[in-house]
Amino acid sequence: MKGIIIILAILLLGELISWLTGGFIPGNIFGMVIMFLALQTKLIKEESVSSACNALTNNMTLMFLPAGIGLMAAYDIIAENWLSITLNITVTTLMVMAVVGWIVDSNKKKEGKQ
């Protein structure tokens, strides 16, 4: 129970920061950054949120239901624009793969020099 309260409190803090900054960046993004920093700096102990995190990740499929239902509700729009959607997905996926590959390659070269 303590872990869920911590996670929800950080999510609420992230939403507050998002609201105060005009909502340009979603609150859950701020919340994830805050949680990451709190865990890295040991402000929050991993043990205090691990059971809640495990419960959430074990039920991850439930988190995708609203998005899937939203896709089904927008079927007509998707059907009309399937080519541009497919091209966008393909191009951006290739770009991400190239950038990640470049970063991994750069890091491996740096490790070899040290």
The pTM of the full predicted model, rounded to 2 decimals, is 0.60
pLDDT of residue 45 exceeding 80: yes
pLDDT of residue 85 exceeding 70: yes
Q: How far is CA 41 from CA 14, 53, 110, in A?
A: 18, 18, 26
d(CA 13, CA 27): 8
pLDDT of residue 112 exceeding 90: no
3-state secondary structure 32-70: HHHHHHHHHCCCCCHHHHHHHHHHHHHCHHHHHHHHHHH
For residues 3-9, average pLDDT: 94
Tokens of 24: 């340009």
Torsion of CA 5, 7, 12, 14, to 10 degrees: 160
- Work out the pLDDT band at 64, boundaries 50, 70, 90: confident
Contacts of 19 (CB under 8 A, 6+ apart): 27
Contact 17, 27 (CB under 8 A): yes
Neighbours of 33 (CB within 10 A): 14
- Work out the pLDDT band at 82, boundaries 50, 70, 90: very high
Tokens of 80: 């009309």
